[in-house]
Amino acid sequence: MKNRLFIIIALALLLLCVTGCGGGKPAEENPATKPNIDIHFAPDASTLEAAKRNGYVVFEDSRVTAGQEIWDDFVAKTEAGEPCFVWLASWYSPDEWRPEPVMYVEAVEFDGEEYVYFYHEAGVNYIKRYKYMKKYTEDGNANVDWSTSTRYFLVNDERVTWNQIVRGMFSSNSMNWVDHETVYRNYTPRDGAPGQ
């Protein structure tokens, strides 16, 4: 009996995490929010070199390696209220959790009033809508190999801070979760640090 109860509780918690933390809706199932950009027709990003060649903002292990001027132009246009979009390619090196390198393709569209975040997973396009894009900059301490960290994140509450988002991610209370998407992250290496 205890085993059955444990399994039921574990499945309920898994279902809660899957439905509560994802937040994106398949574009095919949500015609009212049909995306203006289709990830299936994204410029070629089959390799890191192709993504750099084809106009993506490219992040390699959370450091911008191509397209910084594209990102800066996107930010300037959004601040001016001008509709625009940007393609993002995030590449991660193999590590203890991933035996192979992996690259994710995403897009952010600003329609003049709100931000639409697009991503593709398991053959399905997903979209999430947000009202605000916020910037967070942090100076590194002696324990990290970067001097400055810059992030842009999408939220629906203008008062939300990056610290609240981080607290929510690590909280055992799911009510502390803050719906957000980090769409830009760049760690400036400290002089002499690996990757410099």
Output DSSP code: residue 41.
G
Q: How far apart are CA 170 and CA 151, in angstroms?
A: 18
**Any idea which residue has 């937040």 for tokens?**
23
Q: Does the CA dihedral 32-35-41-46 come out positive or negative?
A: negative
* Chain mean position to CA 14: 22
Q: In this model, does residue 51 exceed pLDDT 70?
A: yes
Q: In this model, does residue 30 exceed pLDDT 80?
A: no
Share of the chain above pLDDT 70, in %: 76
pLDDT of residue 111: 94
Token pair belonging to 31: 């015609």
Highest mean pLDDT among 39-43, 56-60, 138-142: 56-60
189/185: higher pLDDT: 185
Average pLDDT, the chain: 77
Highest mean pLDDT among 40-49, 101-110, 114-123, 173-182: 101-110
- Closest to 66 (Cα-Cα) out of 83, 50, 84, 43: 50
How many residues comprise the chain? 196
Confidence of residue 38 (pLDDT cuts 50, 70, 90): low
- Closest to 70 (Cα-Cα) out of 97, 47, 89: 89
Whole-structure pTM value: 0.73
Report H helices in the chain: 2-22, 48-53, 68-79, 162-170
**How many CB atoms lie under 10 A from the CB of residue 47?**
12
* Chain mean position to CA 167: 17
Q: In this model, does residue 12 exceed pLDDT 50?
A: no
